[in-house]
Amino acid sequence: MEIVKLYGGHGRVRLYNPVYQKIPVLVHGGRPICESMVILEYLDEKWPQQPLLPSDPYERAEARFWVKFAEDKVSCSGMIYQTEGEKLEKARRDALEMLTILEEHGLNGKKKFFGGDNINIVDIAFRWIAHWMGVIEEITGVKLIEGNKFPLLKAWMHNFKEVSFISENLPNREKMAAFFRARRSMILSSA
């Protein structure tokens, strides 16, 4: 399997994802598949021996609900590193509201993961909370997950990053911080 992960503006992104020109794009057998969650559903259907979605229809619907929630809300965290002043304060409030919903409704009553004992598509949909969000907190100075506020989320972040195939594939934190710091100053200076 050839996995192509490129940043926007590069020719191959335009070639593989001409509609949105965004990453990630999975190129399998020369054919591109775009949109993170479409890619995950493709992997689930192509390699059913490693299921990402539950088999029970009701549980599948529940998982899809949270995946949609993750997609809808990823932008509020993105806004934190792209803004300052009042807009940043609004993005901070929105992100805290999203985390509170996850703590109270998403993880409550669950086991180690959103998927129960094992990682499923919902855990992967919220991967950015486990790794990327800390980087954004560091470069903006906005603290979201602090003290004893989100015990279930904190435990989940720990469990998620403990899984070997996750920890072995996490992007380098320093490189991420440098990338997003530079991107933040570029966005703010052109605003």
Ligand X SMILES: N[C@@H](CCC(=O)N[C@@H](CS)C(=O)NCC(=O)O)C(=O)O
Residues 56/57/59/64 CA torsion (nearest 10 deg): 140
Considering the complex, state which of residue 24 and residue 54 has its C-beta at the smaller distance from ligand X. Answer: 24
The two counts, helices (H) then strands (E), for the chain are: 10, 3
Residues pairing with 27 in the sheet:
2, 32
Considering the complex, state which of residue 9 and residue 29 has its C-beta at the smaller distance from ligand X. Answer: 9
Site for ligand X in 8-47 (CB under 6 A): 8-9, 22-24, 35-36
Residue facing ligand X at closest CB distance: 8
In this structure, what DSSP letter does residue 54 have?
A: -
Q: How far is the CB of 35 from ligand X (least distance, A)?
A: 4
Q: How far is the CB of 78 from ligand X (least distance, A)?
A: 8
Considering the complex, state which of residue 74 and residue 96 has its C-beta at the smaller distance from ligand X. Answer: 74
Please name the residues in contact with 99: beta carbons below 8 A apart, sequence gap of 6 or more. 129, 144, 145, 150, 153
Say how many CA atoms lie within 13 Å of 76 toward its Cβ: 18
For residues 132 and 173, is the Cβ–Cβ distance under 8 A?
no
Binding flags for ligand X, 74-103, as an x/- string (CB under 6 A): ------------------------------
Q: How far is the CB of 174 from ligand X (least distance, A)?
A: 19
The contact set with ligand X (CB under 6 A) reads 7-9, 22-24, 35-36
